[in-house]
Structure 1
Amino acid sequence: MAHYEVKPSFYNYVFSPYLEPAIKVNPGDTVSLYTDDAFESRITSEDVSPKAAVRNAKFLNPQSGPVYINGAEPGDTLAVHFESIEFTRDWAVSCVMEYFGGLQSNSITKMLQKPLVEEVYIWKSKDKGQTWTNDKIGVTIPANPFCGTLATAPDTEAIQALTPGQFGGNMDCPDICPGHTIYLPVHNPGALFYIGDCHAAQGQGELCGVALEISAKATLKFDVIKNKVTNWPRIESPEKIMSVGSAKPMEDAARIAYADLIDWMVSDYGFKVLDAYELLTMVGGLYVANMVDTTYSLCASIEKKYLKRNS
């Protein structure tokens, strides 16, 4: 199988079925895609105003791709085996922005209070990205690298890159990380895969709306599961299977995630619907991946040890 590297000369800001592929590969091939941070490196110091830095930017969340996977057709599932993330710099940026984040109003949820004051935080690493230190707060935290956005192109729409949905997108789910496999629906020939928004670390929910944003190189291997329909993004780790639902209000995202997980348990593991419902009530996991995007993303899970029934 072949290995390819893709260093974009420009980035896309939509998940679109209409863009020319950056590269075409075969199932089983490995691709390393270079990504920029969510601001396309416009914020480089704590003296930079986020509002000023993005004033002339049309969008946020630059995407690398799309990658065309030969043989992928609508009705298939794309399996993305996430092999590694390598940071391409020794600093990451986060910030509090005006009218953005989980604890202030925004353009969708309007209120009358003034926005929070802007604040930029530069986090630095001296151990090749294993830990990250912010001198302003006076703390060091461990790395938790993952990609906030990962998607196949929607069926007919071009959807802006801050949005999560059935196609994947800006889910900000920390389980989209090396060592895990992500399953995405295929709506177009070639699947048209996008990736970006790498994070060096992020807590559940991405509370202020901006994680530790960093440029990186993500290495992935693609497989196509023929005639396998996947309705929502799914994730498999060595220990768990997980489904991601995105919606507003948040309880609808939870319902989508748990309902899709039940579908998975029924179709692949032989459970009856109500048995799966009962089991998830007792041992299911659920966390908020993002509470700040255009729709919220929740991740439902079950440990694989519970998928094996008593003999």
Structure 2
Amino acid sequence: MIEVKQPGEYSYVFSRYLDPIVKVQPGETVAIYTKDAFENRVSKETDLPSKIVDGNPNPQTGPIYIEGAEPGDTLAVHILDIEATRDYAVSAHMPGLGGLAPTSSTPMLNDPLPESVWLYKIENGMVTHNEKMSYPWRPFLGTIATAPKMEALSALTPFDNGGNMDTPETKPGNIVYLPVNVPGAYFFTGDCHAGQGDGELCGFALEISAKVTVKFELIKGKAIKWPRIESPTEIMVIGSARPMEDAARIAYSELIEWMCDEYGWDKFEAYQALTQIGKLSVGNMVDTYYSLIAKIEKKYL
């Protein structure tokens, strides 16, 4: 197994214009070490992120160069395991961020919410702030991406290359399919979470530093437009856009395309079927674009 740690500065963008930190072969198992969204600099409730975190959140480990990956391929990322590398998770309320707070894109006249830090102990499969706020350990990757074709995108941004989708479906046991836009794919990940509700409502989930174990697979000559996820029981597509209904349209239309291309469905039959038994969940409602996940159970395919 290859172990990957960022040798220098972490990246805060998904970009083809950075030097790869390592090159790996398809089929190799890779352990990737990540920092949390606060650069691992928040460890107590008096560590206000606005005072101690430089720049933007979400430091990324990468880019990782996948040997043989070419534009038009699909990178399949098998998520094997996520281990916390410390015994606590962090969340926060920050001025200018959150689904129920005034932001730069939704300004309001009321004052910003007060900043606060919330610490959670990770122990015995639970993530606990107090006896009332104790939740199961449900780890996933907040950010998982390949490089865009031309531009560099902020590590806060989810888009067609993946990115900061903040969906709990990017978890161990699932396969994430990402488009390859540049030679080598240039893979990034970070922003791991110990758990999160739909929407990541306040803007920060249960943020952790982590060791992420994955295996890369290349699907040659098969291009996809948006990230896909496969679990043992479902197939899913993630769309990221504003307004939120456009993210839903992307996700459902691409799911129909997947059903037609690989499962032999007629387009309008698939449209009808998803109307009756499709599922739709919200990854995030707080990022630069919103991420929605359209799903269908495999038993219906």
Q: What is the TM-score with the length of structure 2 in the denominator?
A: 0.98
Tell me the residue number matched to 2:203. 209
* Secondary structure of residue in 2 paired with 1:149: strand
What is the CA–CA distance in structure 1 between the aligned matches of 2:133 and 2:104, rounded to whole Å? 32
CA offset at residue 117 of structure 1? 0.9
Tell me the residue number matched to 1:16. 15
* Secondary structure of residue in 1 paired with 2:123: coil
CA offset at residue 43 of structure 1? 1.3
Alignment pair present for 1:37 and 2:33: no
Alignment pair present for 1:87 and 2:84: yes
Unaligned runs of 5+ in 2: none
Tell me the matched-pair count.
300
Counterpart mapping for 1:78-227 below 5 A: 78-127=75-124, 130-135=125-130, 138-227=132-221
Counterpart mapping for 1:232-251 below 5 A: 232-251=226-245
CA offset at residue 110 of structure 1? 1.6
Which residue of 4, 7, 24 maps to 2:5? 7
What is the CA–CA distance in structure 2 between the aligned matches of 1:218 and 1:208, rounded to whole Å? 25
What is the CA–CA distance in structure 2 between the aligned matches of 1:170 and 1:232, rounded to whole Å? 13
What is the CA–CA distance in structure 1 between the aligned matches of 2:81 and 2:122, rounded to whole Å? 18
Unaligned runs of 5+ in 1: none
Alignment pair present for 1:76 and 2:73: yes
RMSD across aligned positions (CA)? 0.9
Which residue of 251, 272, 282 maps to 2:276? 282
Counterpart of 1:6 in structure 2: which amino acid?
A: V
Structure 1 residues 262-296: Cα deviation after superposition (integer angstroms, max 9, x where no partner): 00000000001000000000100001110000000
Counterpart of 1:32 in structure 2: which amino acid?
A: A
Alignment pair present for 1:301 and 2:295: yes
Structure 1 residues 2-53: Cα deviation after superposition (integer angstroms, max 9, x where no partner): x200111331100001111111011101111000000101211011222212
Counterpart of 1:95 in structure 2: which amino acid?
A: A
Tell me the residue number matched to 1:270. 264
CA offset at residue 304 of structure 1? 0.2
What is the CA–CA distance in structure 1 between the aligned matches of 2:86 and 2:42, rounded to whole Å? 14
* Secondary structure of residue in 1 paired with 2:295: strand
Range with bigger deviation, 164-173 or 7-16: 7-16
CA offset at residue 138 of structure 1? 3.5
Alignment pair present for 1:231 and 2:225: yes
What is the CA–CA distance in structure 1 between the aligned matches of 2:295 and 2:37, rounded to whole Å? 28
What is the CA–CA distance in structure 2 between the aligned matches of 1:21 and 1:252, rounded to whole Å? 34
Structure 1 residues 201-228: Cα deviation after superposition (integer angstroms, max 9, x where no partner): 1001000000000000001000110110
What is the CA–CA distance in structure 1 between the aligned matches of 2:121 and 2:255, rounded to whole Å? 38
Range with bigger deviation, 108-117 or 209-218: 108-117
Moved over 6 A (4+): none
Range with bigger deviation, 108-117 or 74-83: 108-117
What is the CA–CA distance in structure 1 between the aligned matches of 2:123 and 2:163, rounded to whole Å? 31
Alignment pair present for 1:61 and 2:50: no
Q: What is the TM-score with the length of structure 1 in the denominator?
A: 0.95
